[in-house]
Structure formats: structure tokens, C-alpha cells
Amino acid sequence: MQTATLRIGTRGSPLALAQAHETRSRLMAAHGLPEDAFAIEVISTSGDRIQDRPLSEAGGKGLFTKELEEALLTGRIDVAVHSSKDMPTQLPDGLRLSAFLPREDPRDGFIGKAAPAIETLPHGATVGSSSLRRQALIRRMRPDISVVTFRGNVQTRLRKLEEGQVHGTILAHAGLRRLGMAGVITDLMPLEKFPPAPGQGAICIESRIGDARVDALVAPINHHDTALALACERAFLAALDGSCRTPIAGYATVDGDRMHFGGLILSPDGQASFDVTLDGLVGEAESLGRRAGEIVRDKAGTRFFESWT
């Protein structure tokens, strides 16, 4: 067996492995190399191990990336494959996001046991979600519903739903599609009513800055429009100091040389919200996102953000 050309680091959940395998398949096709040229190395992360409390209390998004980034910096792996929505806006010195795969459908899917949609759930029903954005959007739609923290991978959450711990839950359509499980969705949430997290549906590749060999390998699988959209969405997040502690939605689309962005911030109870829509040139993706963040920050005022701490 030949020595691997590229060592791909990933978390060990079924969805993370599906994303790593998709990355490997695209690399194999791009370079005409066999499967064993790309070794997949599973690395356990703090976010996977901590299941007894919300991520916002345990340390935020970085809990899903810390150990993978340490492996990158020490040379144990050459690239790390992530869900883009898990990535903090500030990366460790020496690392960068070097490629994005074509984005899947960014919408959320509701999986209901007591009713097929959030709107038709019985009064006082319980919905489980670990995302503060989803929790706030649910509360905005149905203030009577009890929203509880729901940790674990896709399979774990669906098992908890089957056991009757909650009446429904919400998962990303993209992840369910990648697992071949989209059929469990009972209601696909429209973007206008239930906007996605920045980066939702997009797989990203993180690598070391200045590693020309790795850059040359991953460059052919970078999807230009997805990279532009994510640059805008991540700039919006950064302008708001976005993390797992903040209910933020944002979604950018590219049409030729133009870009459209819609962003939303909410109070955790969903009762206060401020939104923004902007259009601009794709070459201004980052500045568009930053400007959008500044606009909603100014709209909301400083007192609004005190509810996030």
C-alpha cells in the first residue's frame, strides 16, 4: 500500500465521516488518484465528548475544531474537514480555510412526532434543539412551545425523538441528505421564515498557511461561489462577534457578479429581532458582510446585546 498523499482529519460522527468521504472522493476525481492516496484520520473533539450541557456554556463552536486544529499545527494531519457553520470566525495563527465544497440545501428540516410542522404542534409541546438560533426562531413562531437543549449527533437526536423525550426536533437538511436520511423530515422550513446559520450546508477544508503542496491538492475542489458566499456570511458573523452564544442567521447567494445577503439577529427568547438585506458585487463579499453586521448592530443598540451574555 502506498504512503498517503494527503492525511484528512475529521470528527468521528457518521455525518463528519460522510463529509470526509465526500472530500476524499472529490480529491480522487480531481487528481486521478486511488482511494488509498488519501488517509482519513478520526480525531475525537471536546464538542463530541461534552454531552451534559449546552455548547454555549462549555466553550462554544471551537469545541468541535480545537483538537483537529492542534493536529494540523503539529503535522499529524494535512487538512481538516469541517461543517462550515461550526467554524469560529477567528482561526488559530498559521491556519486558514483553503477550500469549500459545493453547498448543499441550507434549509432546516423539522422532524415531528406529535405533528408534522411546528405550526401544528399541540399547545405546550416540547421541541429539542442545541442551536440557540433554532431555539430563538422556534420561540418566535410559537411562544407557547417548550424548547429544550438537545445534544448529540443526528442518530442520537432521532433516537431521543423516537423515545418520546420531545415532540419534535430540527436538523439541517444538508446533513440528512449527506446521510441519505432526508426522508425523516416532516416539514422543510422555508428560508424566509426560518433562515439558516451562516455557513449551513457547506463543507470547508482547513489547512496550514503556506503549505504549497496541500494548497495545490485542494485548489481544484474549491467551489468558487460557495467560497464567496461564505466569505460574506463569516464577515457578518465576525462583525457581530458571533459564536454559539448568539442567535444569528445569515445567508448569501451569488448570481453572476452580484451577491445578495440576508441576515438576522434575535434575542434568545425570539421576541426581539433585527434583520438586514444587502446587494453588492461578489468582489465585495467580505465588506458586504461586515456592513450588514454593522447595520443590524446599529439597529439593535448596545442594550440588545446584553441579553446574549
**309 pLDDT more than 60:** no
- Sheet strands (E) in 113-156: 126-128, 146-148
In a domain, 167, yes or no: yes
Distance, in Å, from the CA atom of 49 to the CA atom of 243, rounded to the nearest integer, reads: 19
Distance of CA 186 to the CA centre of its chain: 21
Residues 83, 35: Cα–Cα separation, whole Å = 22
Say whether pLDDT at 214 is over 60.
yes
Residues 74 and 208 in one domain: yes
* pTM for this model (two decimals): 0.91
208: its cell numbers = 496550514
Identify whether residues 30 and 49 lie together within a single domain.
yes
Of 274, 279, 276, which is closest to residue 292 (Cα–Cα)? Answer: 276
My answer on whether 267 and 257 are in the same domain is: yes
The whole-number average pLDDT for the span 229-258 is 90
Query: Which CATH number belongs to the domain containing residue 93 in this structure?
Result: 3.40.190.10
Instruction: Answer yes or no: do 130 and 270 share one domain.
Output: no
User: What are the tens digits of pLDDT across the range 283-302?
Assistant: 999 999 999 999 999 999 88
Q: How confident is the model at residue 58 (pLDDT cuts 50, 70, 90)?
A: very low
Query: What's 242's domain CATH number?
Result: 3.30.160.40
pLDDT at residue 152, rounded to an integer: 83
Q: Is 241 a catalytic residue?
A: no
* Buried b / exposed e along 220-257 (16+ C-beta atoms within 10 A): ebbbebbbbbbbbbbbbbbbbebbbbbbbbbbbbbeee
Same domain assignment for residues 97 and 216: yes
pLDDT digits 0-9 by tens, 144-171: 999 999 878 899 999 999 999 999 999 9
Q: Is 22 among the domain residues?
A: yes
Q: Do both 95 and 207 map to the same domain?
A: yes
Considering the domain boundaries, does residue 85 fall inside one? yes
Judgement on whether residues 134 and 83 belong to the same structural domain of the protein: no
Single-letter amino acid, residue 287: S
* CA–CA dist 154, 307 (Å, integer): 29
SS3 153: coil
**Is pLDDT above 70 for 60?**
no
Active-site choice (48, 52, 78, 86): 86
* Strand partners for 109: 171, 188
Average pLDDT, the chain: 91
Q: Is 183 inside any structural domain?
A: yes
Whether residue 32 is found in the same domain as residue 62: yes
**What's the whole-number mean pLDDT along residues 54-78?**
77
Domain boundary among 188, 214, 240: 188
Query: Is 138 a domain residue?
Result: yes
Both 217 and 263 in one domain: the answer is no
Do residues 25 and 76 both lie within one domain?
yes
For position 45, what pLDDT does the model report?
73
From CA 121, how far away is CA 116, in angstroms rounded?
8
What is the spatial distance between Cα 92 and Cα 262, in angstroms, rounded to a whole number? 28
Find cell 451569488 and name the residue.
Answer: 254
Q: Which residues pair with 146 in a beta bridge?
A: 126
Is 242 in contact with 89 (CB distance < 8 Å)? Answer: yes
Domain count, the chain: 3
Same domain assignment for residues 213 and 281 = no
Co-location of 96 and 206 in the same domain: yes
Task: Determine, yes or no, domain membership for 169.
Answer: yes
Q: List the domain range (segments joined by +) for residue 234.
A: 224-309
CA end-to-end distance (rounded Å), the chain: 52
In the 8-state DSSP scheme, what is residue 295? H
Asked if residue 193 belongs to a domain, the reply is no
